[in-house]
Amino acid sequence: MSVDLDIKPLEARHSAQSYPLAQMILPQLSLPEWLRYVEDIGKRNAFNHGGIVAAYSKRGYIHGLFAYVVGPDALHGKVLMVDNFIAFEIPAHQSVTQALLSKIDALARCYDCRAAHVQLPAGALRGNGKSSILVEAFEAHGHNLQRVGLCKQFEKRPPF
């Protein structure tokens, strides 16, 4: 059985409904902080666009979301920066993760970005559980691993 998802901007009236999903990756986040974040990320300025995209079921339930802004990157130029990605997968249904990933690609192309940078919770790391030399150096300097960054490059264009 497959359920179609509607991938679209988070509607303001659903900000509070989306909070439990956000809290799955940011358990320390309060509802007022989340509501303020949802409002702030949608504000646009001359360079960046931003917002929150949600995966809605036909019944109106939110099964996943991510936040994004468009901004500059030293290496890639204009990039789509994605954060707070969460997908609640339901067995035997369309992949929420795949639907949201497709939307990331579509947004990056829409805004003529050269790359998409995605920040994931540190729990997304796979492997033998050992830190890289670089991570160990940062940790020794007082940092802690909270996110994992991923990058997907698109067709090369001149920066900005």
pLDDT digits (tens, 9 = 90+) for 75-110: 889 999 999 998 887 765 558 888 999 999 999 999
* pTM attached to this predicted model: 0.81
Beta-sheet strand order (sheet of 6-9):
6-9, 50-56, 62-73, 77-87, 115-121, 147-153
Q: Which of 125, 109, 46, 115 is nearest to 76 (CA)?
A: 115
pLDDT digits (tens, 9 = 90+) for 7-65: 999 998 999 999 999 999 899 999 999 999 999 887 765 556 899 999 999 899 999 99
Please provide residue 61's backbone torsions phi and psi, each rounded to the nearest 5 degrees: -80, 145
Cα-based angle 66, 125, 76 (whole degrees, multiple of 5): 60
Q: Which domains does the chain have, with CATH numbers?
A: 6-153 (3.40.630.30)
